[in-house]
Amino acid sequence: MALLDIHVIGSPILRRETQIVQQMTSGLRQLITDMFDTMYAAKGIGLAAPQVGRIERIAVVDVEKNPIALINPVITIKSGKSRREEGCLSIPDIHYDVERAGKVTVNALDVDMKPITLEGSDLFGTCLQHEIDHLHGKLFLDHLSILKRRQAMREWEEEKDQYPELIRRLTPEVIARLQAEEDEANAEEAADRAADRR
C-alpha cells in the first residue's frame, strides 16, 4: 500500500487546471489505487489528483461504501440547491457550509476508459461537485462569502505550521490519530442511537 503526500492549500498545484486523460496506463492504474489507499487512510470520501501533486483529470470517491474512480468527469445536468458542511483533505480541520446544486448528473470514464453516468444528490452529490471542482483548480472555500473566506483563512493561519512545505504526510502517528477520532465519532453515534431507542 502506497500512501501519497497530500498538498494543502497554498500549494500551487491545487490551483492548476488538470489535463484530460487520453489513455489508461499501468502507471495511472497504480495512481488510482494509491489515491484510494490515501483517501481511506486520511478518512476522506473523495480525493482528486491535484491533491496528491498530479495533473491528470482523475478523482476517486467513496460515499457509503461505493468506491468509484472518475476519469475526465463532467457535470452535465445540475438542479436544485443544497447546503451542507464541507471539509477537504487539503484544508484539514476547517469546515464550512457550502451551497451547491442539490442534484447532479456526471459523465465520466471508468478505469477501463468506458463511459459511465452517475447521478448524485445529498452527500454523494456534494462530494462529486467538490472533487470535480478540484480538477479545475477550485476549492470549497471559493464558494464562501468574502467574509467567511477571510475567517476560514484566519483559522488556517493557525493550522498551517503543521504542514511544512505545504505537504500533509500520512505518517503512522497521523493515521493512528485519525483512526482514533473516527472510532470516537462512531462510538458517540452508537451511543446517540442507543439513547434514541430508549
Binding stretches for Zn ion (CB under 5 A) = 88
C-beta of 130: minimal distance to Zn ion in Å?
A: 6
26: Cβ contacts below 8 Å, ≥ 6 apart? none
C-beta of 117: minimal distance to Zn ion in Å?
A: 23
List active site positions. 131
Do the beta carbons of residue 128 and residue 118 sit within 8 Å?
Answer: yes
Closest CA to 116 of 125, 129, 105: 105
How many helices and strands, by DSSP H and E, does the chain display? 4, 9
Q: Which residue is nearest to Zn ion (CB)?
A: 88
C-beta of 94: minimal distance to Zn ion in Å?
A: 11
Nearer to Zn ion, 88 or 109 (CB): 88
Residue 13 burial (10 A CB sphere; 0-12, 13-18, 19+): middle
C-beta of 47: minimal distance to Zn ion in Å?
A: 8
Nearer to Zn ion, 60 or 88 (CB): 88
Closest CA to 52 of 70, 28, 35, 29: 35
Do the beta carbons of residue 70 and residue 113 sit within 8 Å?
Answer: no
Nearer to Zn ion, 88 or 108 (CB): 88
Nearer to Zn ion, 88 or 132 (CB): 88
Determine how β-strand 103-109 pairs with β-strand 167-168.
unpaired
Given phi > 0 = left and psi -120 to 50 = alpha, else beta, which region is 150? Answer: alpha
